[in-house]
């Protein structure tokens, strides 16, 4: 009797969670297909994909995402490697620094960033190119908690010291150790960090909005103000994108379980 009752409540809560998750998703999907009166159609999606502004802002955010990912990797992998190899006593401090973007609300951080770098002596917001530098720096900071954690966890699963000594004894220099030994061993960790960072940059509103750059976030807000059906289509597309990123992470980390540390070529 007792177990039956527990099962009923478990079932109740799980069903409620399913409804809360799937009703808005289904509602959005249904809504996005009703642009043409009376029939289900993909018109809203066609309209979105045909909008040159959508393509431009998506391309801009995607490029920003890729640049952010590249610079994050180049910044964090050597740092985490060096901390694991030589400066273990610094790990707690660096860990606290890397979760700062969780403690400081994004809007507060962006506020500080704009006020600091828009005026003299830096004046980084005068040209689009300089503003983009500021954008990438901001994105790297915002994605840092995810990127650092992913690389840190990955670094813990490999024997950094042995790999380094082996590479050194074969005559490798630091660049060779990093690029031919450490990077290949961390590829799963780097990939999951990269995918999360990329998804974050694509969906980010605040930086692009307040630095007045043509990113996807501000574009979506604008569409939401002016249109009825396209926002629903955009929401479904971002669901799909988030799903793909998370799915790829699961896929890569699962396939990597079978293989252990690999050594450089």
Verify binding: residue 179, other proteins, rule CB under 8 A. Answer: no
Nearer Cβ to other proteins (119/128): 119
Verify binding: residue 141, other proteins, rule CB under 8 A. Answer: yes
Verify binding: residue 125, other proteins, rule CB under 8 A. Answer: no
| Sign for the pseudo-dihedral over CA of 161, 163, 169, 173 | negative
Of positions 88, 225, 260, 265, contacts other proteins by CB under 8 A: 225
Nearer Cβ to other proteins (97/259): 97
Verify binding: residue 214, other proteins, rule CB under 8 A. Answer: no
Residue with tokens 């006593």: 89
According to CB under 8 A, which residues from 89 to 108 bind other proteins?
90, 94, 97, 100-108
Do residues 207 and 215 lie in contact, with contact meaning Cβ atoms separated by under 8 Å?
yes
Of positions 242, 253, 256, 264, contacts other proteins by CB under 8 A: 242
Verify binding: residue 129, other proteins, rule CB under 8 A. Answer: no
Give the pair of three-digit tokens for residue 258.
């079978």
Verify binding: residue 13, other proteins, rule CB under 8 A. Answer: yes
According to CB under 8 A, which residues from 155 to 174 bind other proteins?
161, 164-165, 168-171, 173-174
Contacts (Cβ under 8 Å, ≥6 apart) of 199: 241, 242, 245
> Distance (Å, rounded) from C-alpha 210 to C-alpha 157?
40
According to CB under 8 A, which residues from 39 to 68 bind other proteins?
none
Verify binding: residue 11, other proteins, rule CB under 8 A. Answer: yes
Verify binding: residue 252, other proteins, rule CB under 8 A. Answer: no
Verify binding: residue 183, other proteins, rule CB under 8 A. Answer: no
Of positions 63, 228, 262, 263, contacts other proteins by CB under 8 A: 228
Torsion of CA 41, 43, 44, 50, to 10 degrees: 150
By CB under 8 A, the count of residues binding other proteins is: 88
Verify binding: residue 19, other proteins, rule CB under 8 A. Answer: no
Verify binding: residue 140, other proteins, rule CB under 8 A. Answer: yes
Residue 101 CA neighbour count, 13 Å, CB half: 18
Q: How far is the CB of 184 from other proteins (least distance, A)?
A: 19
Contacts (Cβ under 8 Å, ≥6 apart) of 127: none
Q: Is 241 exposed, middle or buried (0-12, 13-18, 19+ CB in 10 A)?
A: middle
Report CA-CA distances (Å) from 143 to 98, 138, 147, 203. Answer: 9, 9, 6, 12
């Amino acid at each position: 009797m007792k177990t039956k009752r527990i099962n009923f409540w478990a079932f109740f809560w799980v069903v409620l969670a399913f409804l809360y998750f799937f009703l808005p998703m289904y509602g959005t999907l249904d809504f996005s297909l009703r642009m043409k009166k009376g029939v289900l159609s993909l018109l809203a999606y066609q309209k979105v994909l045909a909008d040159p502004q959508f393509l431009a802002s998506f391309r801009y955010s995607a490029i920003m995402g890729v640049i952010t990912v590249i610079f994050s990797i180049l910044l964090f992998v050597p740092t985490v490697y060096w901390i694991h190899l030589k400066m273990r006593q610094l790990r707690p401090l660096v860990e606290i620094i890397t979760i700062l973007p969780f403690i400081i609300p994004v809007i507060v951080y962006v506020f500080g960033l704009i006020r600091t770098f828009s005026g003299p002596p830096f004046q980084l917001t005068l040209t689009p190119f300089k503003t983009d530098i500021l954008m990438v720096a901001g994105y790297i900071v915002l994605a840092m908690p995810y990127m650092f954690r992913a690389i840190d966890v990955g670094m813990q699963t490999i024997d950094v010291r042995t790999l380094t000594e082996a590479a050194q004894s074969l005559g490798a220099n630091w660049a060779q150790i990093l690029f031919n030994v450490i990077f290949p061993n961390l590829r799963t960790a780097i990939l999951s960090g990269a995918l999360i960072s990329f998804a974050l940059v694509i969906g980010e509103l605040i930086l692009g909005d307040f630095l007045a750059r043509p990113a996807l976030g501000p574009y979506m807000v604008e569409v939401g103000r002016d249109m009825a059906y396209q926002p629903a289509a955009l929401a479904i597309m971002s669901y799909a994108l988030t799903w793909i990123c998370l799915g790829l992470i699961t896929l890569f980390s699962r396939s990597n379980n079978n293989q252990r540390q690999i050594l450089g070529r």
